[in-house]
Each structure stands twice: as structure tokens, then as C-alpha cells.
Chain A
Amino acid sequence: MSWIVRMIIVLPALAALVGLLTRRRRGLAAAVAVSVSAYVAVLGLIQWVAPSRTADIESIGSLPLGDLSVPLHLLSDRVSGLVAFVVALVVLGIQVFTAWYLRDDPRYGQFAATVSLFAAGMLLLVQSGDLVLMLVGWEVMGWCSWLLIGHDSERAAARRAAYKAFIVTRVADIAMVVGIVALSVRARSTDLMAVLTAGGDGTLLTIGLVGIVIGVAGKSGLVPFHDWLPDAMEGPTPASALIHAATMVAAGTYVIARLFSLYAGHDGARTLLAVLTAVTMVYAALLALVQTDLKRMLAYSTLSQIAIMLSALAAAPAELGPGAGIAHLVGHAFFKALLFLGAGWLSVLAGATAVAALRGRLRPTGALRWSMGIGLAALAGVPPLIGFFTKDTVIDAALEGATGGGGFRAWLVVVALFVTVVLTAAYCTRAWLLLDTPVAATGRLPDVEPAVVAEEDVAVVTTTDSADDAEVERVHAHGHAPITLPAALVVSVLAALTVVGTLFLASLRGGVHVGLLSALLSVLLVAGAAYAVWSLSDRGRLDVADRIPSRVREPAVRGFGVDTAYVGFGRAVTAVARLVVALDRDVVDAYPRATAVVARAAGRAGERSHRAVPSLSLLSLLVGVVVVAVLGVAAWR
């Protein structure tokens, strides 16, 4: 059985290598990417169905690090089997979809290979039973996200977004690495089991857990680090789907779930996590409500949903385990992949991703309309869909935590969750109404001016938004390539999974756990919010967000200038670096330079005293003889 676990990690990595070597031959590259990810999905299915519960699968042998034990084991259990299978499934869908979506992209080969490598990183993180391997997978994903977001590297906005994502997550990773080191030092081992069971030093434990929370906040886009994710929409839509659905941003949930027993016993770290997630889920949902771009709206919804997953881990009582968070991870993976791929499909049809350009475009598209409808409903939490079950599992877990002595932390999460339920239903309804209401019904033509971007300042996202440039270019470049059957099938299958995916969670302990009262309450809230939006927007004829004064809306669309704050932070760091360089150059280096000056001056003096005159040399000779003789005789022993 253990070879399956290893294969699940190694095969995508090999596929990345092969894909890179065959990148010039499109057909071959696509075949390699799709077939390997299909095979990995089958392996994932086997691992999930028949999990081998073992924590000491050898990977590359342990590292000889003296006192510190680094066994580099892989860990296989029910959770890792489920998550690995879901990841493999989503990656397979994305690879199939990409083969169509980037059909005319000259750098398709590189993209597919990067997706494979990305999958390898995520699967390594999922299967790892060792903090070092976890970090390796974590960093591989960070690097691949840079490649994927910056795929359209000829566009300055894409490059900037890629660097932004990379640098912001790197900054948070500093804390992550410190945290992992602290936990490893505490346990004298990097093995996950040893780390979980080690006792002792409370300070190291605090540093470790808080550090990992900060690192997770970076990759998962919790509040101070959240702004990179909407900008990451500059990447092609499949890349967004990959990053948002099952891998990078969700990886943080998985890491904290793995360490849940440590967090359960540490109030401080959990309170930090609870505050961050509560703020993020409400704030991101509010911003999602006002976005003018479909992809950016989805990005903000991801922020909000990831925060929901993490809030389950922050608020759930210890005996309930991390099941609720993992369950929402799985559910979110399905419906968010569905929504992103559907959005990509729609954008190809419409030639843009701006909401204004997409108005009513969903109506005439059969399967896509159904799929998007199911996706949005799942996101909003409409009952039979997976989103309803997983979200209410989280709410129920948080309620149990609150009533079971969780105190302020759990109540904060509960309140934030209910607020988020309302807001999520509101922005989902808004999106559906905008996309589905026929243009004729609105009584006016959609705005056509949006695609203009301020060339001189790509940093500022305008209301008319720039994320759709790539799509516009792509569509204009190759016209409306009709969708292939496999790609359409992928979207449909994801829609089906969104409907029946709850069955996946049956095997997960604490995976589905819905309380009657809270479920009833959240259904009422969803229905109320939907009705309110429906009536406020005059049955879809208006954009409900237009009712918000533009004084508030404009900065909200731009993310309230967080980007400027990031830039300011970067400038401050650079300024400090300049200061250090100046100190080094003008103070420290002065001494070495002084020796050079002294040497030169001494050489000049020596040159002046050597004038090639025999008498002078004779004089020096005689003086030398006397000195040498006196010294020699006096010091002779």
C-alpha cells in the first residue's frame, strides 16, 4: 500500500519534468499532464477507499542531523486519503479544462507542467508525516503560484501580481519557518507524531503554534495578508481554480488540522486564529458584495470561505476534532473549482470577466447555466448541496465550542459565521441575478467602456478592473474556440459532485454534523438575504451594489488601499536596507579602504626615496649592515 502513497507524490513531479521536456509538443504535453493526473486520481481513490493507517512510510531516508531526528516519513490515514483524492480529482479536472482553455497559448506546455508540479507540492504536504516535508510542499506551492499567476508574463499587471503573491506569502512564511523550527526543537524531532506527543516547553509551543498561524494566514489570505489573492486573478482562470479550490490557500487548513491536538490545548493561538478568521470572513464577504469583476468576486468569496474553514479549527471543541474544517475544505474544493471553471467558460463566451460585460450572458447557455447556478447555490449554502452541509457543520461545531466553554473566542466565531451566511447569500444572489437576467430586461445596454486601464499605474485596480484584460486578449487572439466535450464534461461532473459530494464526507469523523436549529436558522437567513437582494435589485434589473454610494464603493473595489500599505511596507524595508548598506559602506568599509590608502601612500613615499643613485643604495647597505650585525650578535643565543 505504501507505494501508492509515494507514487501519488512522485508521479505528478515526474509529469512536471516530462511536461517541461516535451513543452514544445502540445499534444504530448497535454497527454502526459492529463493521463498522469488521471492515474494519480485513481491512486488517490484507492488510498481513500482502502486507507493504510500508517505513519512511518519511508520517503528518502532520514537526514543525519545529529541530535535532531528528521525521519522524513509519510503519513497515510483517512483524512490524508480523502484530501489527496479530492486534490487529485480537482487537478485532473483542471488539467482537462486547461487543455481546452489554453488551446492557443504558446506556453501551454509550461503551464501544464507547473500545474503538475503544484499538485505534487500539495500532495506532498497532504501525505507528509514530517514538518520538513510539509514545509517543502508548502514552498513548492509558493513558488509554483508565482509561475502560474505570472503566466501571462508579458503583461506588467500579471508580473506584479505574481511578485505580490510570492513576496506577501514569503513574508508570512518567515513566521511559518520559525514556528516549525520551534516545534521541532521542542520535540527534538520533525516527525509529526513526535511533535504532537511531545510535552514540555510552553514558550516554544506558543512560538511554534503562533508562527504557524501567521504562516497560514499568509498563504490562506487571512486579514493582514489577504490582498494578494484578488490580485492573483491576473493568472489564467485554471490557475485561479487550482490555487483557490483545493491547493494553496486550503493547505493552511490542512496544516492546522494536522496539528489540531496541539491547538486544542492552546487557547492563545486559537484566539488569534479566531479573531483573524472572524474579521476576514466578514470583511471579505462585504467586499465580495461590491466587486465589479466576476473573478475578483470569487476571489473575495474564497477568502471568506477559507476563513470559515479555519474558524472551525479555531472554535471547535477538542473532542470534535478537525473534521468540520476538513469537510468544508472538501466541499469548497468542489464548488469553487466549479465556479472558477464555469467563470472561465463564460468569459470565453463573453470575452470579458467584468460583471458589466457579463450581464445576462448566462441565460442562453444550457449546461453552463445550470452548473453556475448549482455552484452559486452551494456557495450560498442552499440545503441539498454540499455547501449547505459543510457550512452548517462548521456552524454547529462552533456552537458546540461556544456552549462547551469556548468563551469569547467561540462566540465571536459563531456571530461572524451567521453574519457571513447572510452576506454570502447576498452576493451569490447578486451574482446570479446579474448573470442571468436578460439584458433586455434591464432596459439599458451594459457599459462598454470598462476595458480601458490606466497604463501608467498598473498598481491601482480601477472600478473597471484589469483582471479581464487577459481574457479579452485571449479571446481576441483565437476567437471563440468552441468548448470541447471533455472540458464541458469536467464542469458538469464538478456540478454533480457539488450536489452529491456530501457522500464523500460520510467516512470522515465529524465530517457532517448538522444541528437542526442552527440549520433552520441559516436556511432562513439565506432565504431572507436572497429575497432582500432580489427585491432591492428590482428583480435583477439593477445591480444591488450600485445602491452603495460610490464614495464607499470605489475604495471597496480597490480593497481599501491595502496594496498601498504593502507598497509602503516594502519601501520602509528598502529604506532600512539602504541605511544598512550606507553604514556598511561608509563606516565598516572605511577601515579596509584606509589600508589601501595607507599602502598607496607608503608606496609613493618609498618611490620618492628610490632614485637609482648608487650612493644612496650604498648608504642604506651600510646602515643595514650595522643594524643587522648589532641585532644579530645581541640576540644570538
Chain B
Amino acid sequence: MKGLAIDYSILLPAILPVAGLVLVLVLDLVNPRLRQVPYAVAALAALGSAVATVPGLALGGGSTRETFCLTGRTGQATGGATAAGVDGLPQVCLWQADALGSTLQLAAAVSALVCIALAWPRTRRRRPTDSTREPVEAVLLLAALAGTIVVAASRDVGTWLVALELATLPVIALVALSGRRSAVAGATQLLVTSLVSFALLVLGVALWFAATGSPFLTPDAALSSGGAFSAASGAPTSVVFPSVSGGVVALATVLVVAGVGFKLSLVPFHAWTPTAYAGSSVPVATFLATVSKIAALAALLVVLRAVAALGTPALVSIALLASLSMTLGNLMALRQDDVVRLLAWSTVAQAGWVVLPLVSISALGVGASATYLLTYVIATLVAFAVVAVTLRDRPGEGRSIAAYEGLWQRSPWRAGALALALTSLAGLPPGIIGLVGKITALRPVVAEGWVWLAVVAAVNAVVGVAVYLRWLRAVITAPDVVAGAAGSEGPGPAPVAVARRRPVMVAGLVLASAILVVVSVQPDLLLRLLG
């Protein structure tokens, strides 16, 4: 393509999952009887992708690793002043990975790696009668990962939209793949919601293009949305609608927030969350709770960072969504006895915390939001990994809180990991990182003077403690004497029997727990990563 410079080394985080995807398909074509090889390929691809993001982490001070740059005069659709490409003006690149984007990409890749470890199939070879699930799962996981990584770095509306869909649609298939009735119900709800949301997103993007005349999601494009608007960018203006295009940009932003809010499961776009989580297998639910959320926030941040150049002080709608999500999520989580459902509702509540700092559309708010997302993702990964391991131990009953009674006595390491994850989510010591995340998230809110929102957040932090301690209490208390007697009557050989077949799963749990422990001991590691 004329005038388009491509640096493939920078694209590696996205290329590797796609390459892995193709490789899995080819392998499946060659030998359809493989079960673990597709997963191994997928794990390697995710690992490679994670490693490839590392050079981007050290970038500081606004420098980016860019490619797909429009160096020459391209003329056609880009039109306008922004992409003029005149010497001296900043060039526009379709792929910009700065420290924040690279960190999100790394988090997505590592989360995907853990999900793959949790979904690791049991036997090497499958019986001929089995359906070909494993390669399909691997392909879908890798596709969604690729979409997530691309969306974090994309800067033009086309890539952004396609990558976001690439991150979403495979997950719907993953949910439906098990074929159970509950899975289909969850997938249906997810599909319906995502379609409408996609429509909203496209509408928002179209409005953006109409207002700015630019297909780029960059600050320059936002500033070009009208003379009056760019003039007012430095100082707050008293004029509400300096121009029609200003209002259109506002509407576009709000619609994008609403569209992405579905993926973040913000109230009122959350209704699919518990159904889909409960219907899908635990690794897929983990994927939904982590990688999908990273994709959503990455997409949202791309738009909001562009809008931030306008000097817009705050967004009431985000405040509304955040407070609603927290409150409803916590209240509902308080009543769940199924741990996956509890985690689903906890996701809703935590999504409120994630977007909470974004009421201040500024670098501070964006950084705080990403920080909180990472703390949430790490802790949730550990919690889900523990659930997955426990579910393998006791397939029938591992999803109720009651099944975790006495876990501390049975397997102290797993219980310790779960306790750390839950306290991190609750924001209590020893989960220091959760506390740090909550404080970081509240800082922009307080700085902007949103007192009522801070109060709502504080109340929800308290309710959240109750949510997680309800589960934690079961973990650390010994089971009743009666239950213990019943258990001793029939000592269960079953856990021992399956225990020998899950080293990879445990490795995933160990990886996630290790990350959680490290950032809990050294929270500034995470804070420094995001500048």
C-alpha cells in the first residue's frame, strides 16, 4: 500500500496469536485426533504474544511504538487537516502501542495463557466418537485474544470496530460450544445483547466520523471537530454547545460508552453476565471475566483518550453507570450461593469500579482505570482458577459455597490463594493490591470533587467486603462436626484419582497466584508499569 510503513516486529503481539490460530487449523486438518497439541500451540502463541509486548512496557513519557503509519499524502477518505502528512505535522499511525496499551496487551496475553491452562484437556487422544471440540476452542480463544490485542493498539475506527468484534464473537461461540441448555441460553442472551451493542458502537463511530471528519481515534481528530471546539480546548468554556459538531462528539462518546458497557457488563447492559457465566465452562467464564474485560476497557480507553484532548471535565453518564453497577452487582452477589454466579455479579460490581475513575476524562483517570482493571483481572484469575481446580476435585458440587467449607484444612495452598484473591477483590489486607487499586480509583473522583460518587463507592466497598467475606468464611472455617463425621465415613478416593491428571491446570493457578502475590507484596510494580 502506498505510503504505509509496516514494522512487523511491532505487530508481533497480534501476529503470533493469528499464526497460532492458523497452525492449529492446519494441524487439525492433518491429524484430527489431536487433543492436547492444539492447546499447546495456543499456549505457546499466547506466551509468545506476552513476551512480544515486553519492549512496549518500558516506554515512558508518551512515546509509542508505531506502525501502519501514513507517511505520504493519501488523499482519499482520510481527508482534512489531520492526515495531511505535511512535513512537520505529526504523522498518523493506525497502530500505536504505548506503555498503557502494551500493559493491557500483556495482561490479556497472560490471562489467556491461564485460561488455556485451565481448559487443558484431560487425555492425550480422544475417542473417534468425540466431537472436535479442542481445536475449535483453541482457535476461538486465540481469535479473541488477537482481537483484544489489536483493539488496544488500534487508532482508526475500522480496525477498532473489527478488532472489538473479533474479541467478542468467538467468545459467544465458546459459551455455546458445550451444547448444554444453560450454555445455549447464555450464548443467546450474549449474542442478542452484543448485536444491539454493536449497532450502538457503529452508530457512535459514525457520529464520530460525522463530527470530526476523521476516521482516526486520536486527539488531533477530536480537536478538529470544529473551530470553536478546538479553541476551547485549553480552558473550560461556559458555552454548552459551541457547535453542533461538539454535541455530536458528545453523543458519539456516550454511545461508545454504552456499546462497550455491554462488554464490561455495566448495569443496565449487564443482564447476560450471570447467565453466560453460569452456562459456560469455568475456563470460558474466566476468559469472559478477564480477557473480554481487558478488550472492552482497552477499546473504551482508545476513544476516551482521544476525547480527553477536548478538556471535558467529566461524564455524568459514566458516574451513573459506575454507581449503578457497583450497587446492583454487590447486592446481587451478596445473595448468590453458586460461586460462579457470585463471581459473575462480582464482575458487574468490579466493572463499576473500573469505570469509576473515568468520570474524570484525563490521563489521571485513564491510568487509574487501567490500574484497577489489572488488579481486578489478576485477582479474578486466581479466584476462577481455584474454582476450576476445585471443580475437577468434586465435579458435582464444587460450585456451591458450601463445597469450600474446610478448604483450609484440605488444601491450605489453594485456600491461601483463594483467600488472597478474595481479600484483594474486597480491598482488605493481606490483599494489599486490591486496597491500592481502590484508592487509586477513588483519587480522580475525589480530585474532581464528585463527593456523592465517592460516598457511593465507599458504601459499596463496605458491601463488597461482606460479599467476599461470605465466601472466605466458608474457606477458613472447619466444616461442621456432622459433615466431618459423614466425610470420614466415606473417605473420598475420588479427589486423589483425578488429582494426578491436572498438572497444567495447577500450573495455571500457580502462575496467576504468583503474579498476585508479587503485586500484592510490591504494588508499586503495577503502578509503575502504567506510568
Q: Which residues of A contact B (CB under 8 A)?
A: 596, 599-600, 602-604, 606-607, 610, 612, 614, 616-618, 620-625, 627-629, 631-633, 635-637
Q: Which residues of B contact A603 (CB under 8 A)?
A: 331-332, 334-335
> Given A637-B312, A637-B313: A610 and B272 within 8 A (CB)?
no
Chain A residues near B196 (CB, 8 Å)?
A: 618, 621-622
Q: CB within 8 A of B258: which of A596, A607, A624, A636? A: A624
- The binding surface of chain B is classed by DSSP as helix
List, in ascending order, chain A residues with CB within 8 A of B335's CB.
Answer: 600, 603-604, 606-607
Give A600 to B313 CA distance when docked, in angstroms. 36
Q: Given A604-B335, A606-B328, A607-B332, A629 and B254 touching (CB < 8 A)? A: yes
Q: Which of A618, A621, A635 has the most CB of B within 10 A?
A: A621
Among B238-264, those with CB < 8 Å from A are 240, 246-247, 250-251, 253-255, 257-258, 261-262
A636 to B243, CA, bound (A): 12
* Contact yes or no, B257 A628, CB < 8 A: yes
Partner of B316, one of A600, A617, A621, A635: A635
Residue of B nearest to A612 (CB): B275
State how many angstroms separate the Cβ of B111 from the closest Cβ of chain A: 26
Residues in A whose Cβ lies below 8 Å from that of B188: 614
Q: Closest residue of chain A to B266, judged by CB?
A: A624
A620 to B262, CA, bound (A): 11
List B60-110 residues whose CB lies under 8 Å from chain A: none
Choice from A600, A610, A631, A633 contacting B320 with Cβ under 8 Å: A631
Interface CB pairs A-B, < 8 A, 7:
A599-B331, A600-B335, A606-B328, A621-B269, A624-B267, A628-B317, A629-B258
B468 to chain A, nearest CB (A): 14
Give Cα distance in the complex from A616 to B251, angstroms.
Answer: 25
Kindly list chain B residues whose C-beta atoms are within 8 Å of the C-beta of A636. Answer: 240, 246-247, 250, 312, 315
Q: Contacts A607-B335, A629-B251 given: A620-B268 contact, CB under 8 Å?
A: yes
Closest to A606 in B: B332
Closest Cβ of chain A to B303, distance in Å, is: 13
Q: A606-B328, A607-B332, A633-B254 are in contact. List 16 more A-B contacts (CB 8 A).
A: A599-B466, A603-B331, A606-B332, A614-B189, A614-B192, A616-B271, A620-B268, A625-B200, A625-B255, A627-B317, A631-B254, A632-B250, A632-B254, A632-B315, A633-B247, A636-B312
> How far apart sit A427 and B200, CA to CA, in the bound complex (Å)?
105
Interface: B508 (CB within 8 A): no
A208 vs B98: C-alpha distance when bound (angstroms): 71
User: What is the CA–CA distance of A623 and B196 in the complex, to the nearest angstrom?
Assistant: 12
Interface centre among A602, A616, A627, A628 (most CB of B within 10 A): A628
B313 near A617 with CB under 8 A, answer no
C-alpha gap A599/B465 in the complex (Å): 13
Q: Which of A606, A617, A627, A628 contacts B272 (CB 8 A)?
A: A617
- A624 & B463 in contact (Cβ 8 Å cutoff): no
- Which residues of A are found within 8 Å of B246, using beta-carbon distances? 636
Chain A residues closer than 8 Å to B493, beta-carbon distance:
none
CB pair B189 A606 closer than 8 Å: no
Q: Which residues of A contact B328 (CB under 8 A)?
A: 606
Interfacial chain B residues near A620, Cβ < 8 Å: 268-269, 271
* Binary interface encoding of chain B residues 179-200 relative to chain A, with 1 for a CB under 8 A from any of its CBs, else 0: 0000001001100110011001
Closest-by-CB residue of B relative to A623 is: B268
B274 within 8 A of partner (CB): yes
The answer for the CA separation of A636 and B229 in the assembled complex, in Å, is 12
Contact B332 A632 (CB under 8 A): no
Determine whether the beta carbon of A606 is less than 8 Å from that of B192: no
Instruction: Decide if A632 touches B193 in the complex (CB within 8 Å).
Output: no
* Beta-carbon contact of B254 and A628 below 8 Å: yes
B234: interface (CB < 8 Å):
no
Q: How far is the CA of A632 from the CA of B319 in the complex (A)?
A: 10
Say if the beta carbon of B321 comes within 8 Å of chain A: yes
Tell me which of A610, A633, A635 has the highest count of chain B C-beta atoms within 10 A of its own C-beta: A633
Which residues of chain B from 184 to 243 have any CB-CB distance to chain A below 8 Å in the complex?
A: 185, 188-189, 192-193, 196-197, 200, 236-237, 240
Residues from chain B with Cβ under 8 Å of A616 in the complex: 271
Q: Which residue of A lies closest to B262 (CB)?
A: A621
Closest to B236 in A: A637
Knowing A632-B251, A632-B254, A635-B316, the reply to whether A617 touches B331 (Cβ < 8 A) is no
B449 to chain A, nearest CB (A): 14
Chain A residues with Cβ under 8 A from B317's Cβ?
627-629, 631-632, 635
Output the least CB separation between B435 and chain A (Å).
22
With contact pairs A628-B254, A632-B250, A632-B317 given, residues A621 and B268 touching in the complex (Cβ less than 8 Å): yes
- Give the distance in Å from the alpha carbon of A629 to the alpha carbon of B257 in the complex: 9
User: In the complex, how many angstroms separate the beta carbon of A623 from the nearest chain B beta carbon?
Assistant: 6
Residue on A nearest B278 in the bound complex, by CB: A612
* CA gap between A616 and B240 in the complex, in Å: 35
In the complex, the chain A residue whose C-beta lies closest to that of B254 is A632
Given the complex, which residues of A lie within 8 Å of B250, measured CB to CB?
Answer: 632-633, 636
CA distance A629 to B320 in the complex (A): 12
Q: Is the CB–CB distance between A617 and B192 below 8 Å?
A: yes
Q: Mark B310-349, 1 if CB is under 8 A from A, else 0.
A: 0011111100110000001001101100000000000000
A622 to B193, CA, bound (A): 10
List chain B residues, Cβ under 8 A from A606: 328, 331-332, 335
Determine the residue in chain A with the shortest Cβ distance to B204. Answer: A629
**B193: which of A604, A618, A627 is its contact (CB, 8 Å)?**
A618
Chain A residues with CB under 8 A of B275:
612
CA distance A624 to B193 in the complex (A): 12
Bits for B469-504, please: 1 = Cβ < 8 Å to A, else 0: 000000000000000000000000000000000000
Output the least CB separation between A622 and chain B (Å): 8
B200 and A612 contact, CB distance less than 8 A: no
CB nearest to B313 among chain A residues: A637
Name the 10 nearest CB pairs between A and B, nearest first.
Answer: A617-B271, A632-B254, A624-B268, A636-B250, A635-B316, A620-B268, A632-B317, A603-B335, A628-B317, A603-B331
**Closest approach, in angstroms, between the C-beta of A275 and any C-beta of chain B?**
57
Give B441-466 as 1s and 0s: 1 = Cβ < 8 Å from A's Cβ atoms.
00000000000000000000001001
The answer for the CA separation of A617 and B268 in the assembled complex, in Å, is: 8
Most central of B247, B271, B312, B313 by chain A CB within 10 Å: B271
Complex Cα–Cα for A604 and B328 (A): 11
A600 to chain B, nearest CB (A): 7
Within the complex, which residue of A599, A600, A624, A632 is in contact with B269, where a contact is CB–CB below 8 Å? A624
CA distance A635 to B251 in the complex (A): 11
Find chain A residues with CB under 8 A from B321 CB.
624, 628
List the A side residues contacting B463 at CB < 8 Å. 599
CB neighbours of A602 from chain B (8 A): 331
A607 to B272 Cα, complex, angstroms: 14
Task: Collect the chain B residues with CB atoms within 8 Å of residue A635's CB.
Answer: 315-317
Bound: A73/B247 CA distance, A: 77
Chain B residue nearest to A634 in the complex (CB): B316
Best-surrounded residue of A603, A604, A636 (most CB of chain B within 10 A): A636
Contact B268 A632, beta carbon cutoff 8 Å:
no
- Evaluate contact between A625 and B332: CB separation under 8 angstroms: no
* Distance of A636 Cα from B466 Cα, bound (Å): 36
Nearest to B182 among chain A residues (CB) is A612
Which residues of chain B are within 8 angstroms of A607 by Cβ–Cβ distance?
A: 332, 335
Task: With both chains docked as a complex, state the minimum distance between the C-beta of B121 and any C-beta of chain A, in angstroms.
Answer: 29
| A616–B193 alpha-carbon span in the complex (Å) | 10
Contacts of B267 in A (CB 8 A): 624
In the complex, A123→B373 CA distance in Å? 64
What residues of chain A lie closer than 8 Å to B258, measured between beta carbons? 624-625, 628-629
Closest B residue to A617 by beta carbon equals: B271
Pairwise interchain contact A632-B271, C-beta atoms closer than 8 A: no
Q: Give the CA-CA distance A370 to B316 in the complex, in Å.
A: 99
Complex CA distance for A627 and B321, rounded to whole angstroms: 10
The answer on a CB contact under 8 Å between B247 and A612 is: no
User: Using an 8 Å CB-CB cutoff, how does the interface string of B130-143 with A read, 1 for contact, 0 for none?
Assistant: 00000000000000
CA distance A558 to B180 in the complex (A): 84
Shortest B236–chain A CB gap in Å is 7
CA distance A624 to B189 in the complex (A): 17
Q: What residues of B have a CB within 8 angstroms of the CB of A632 in the complex?
A: 250-251, 253-254, 257, 315-317
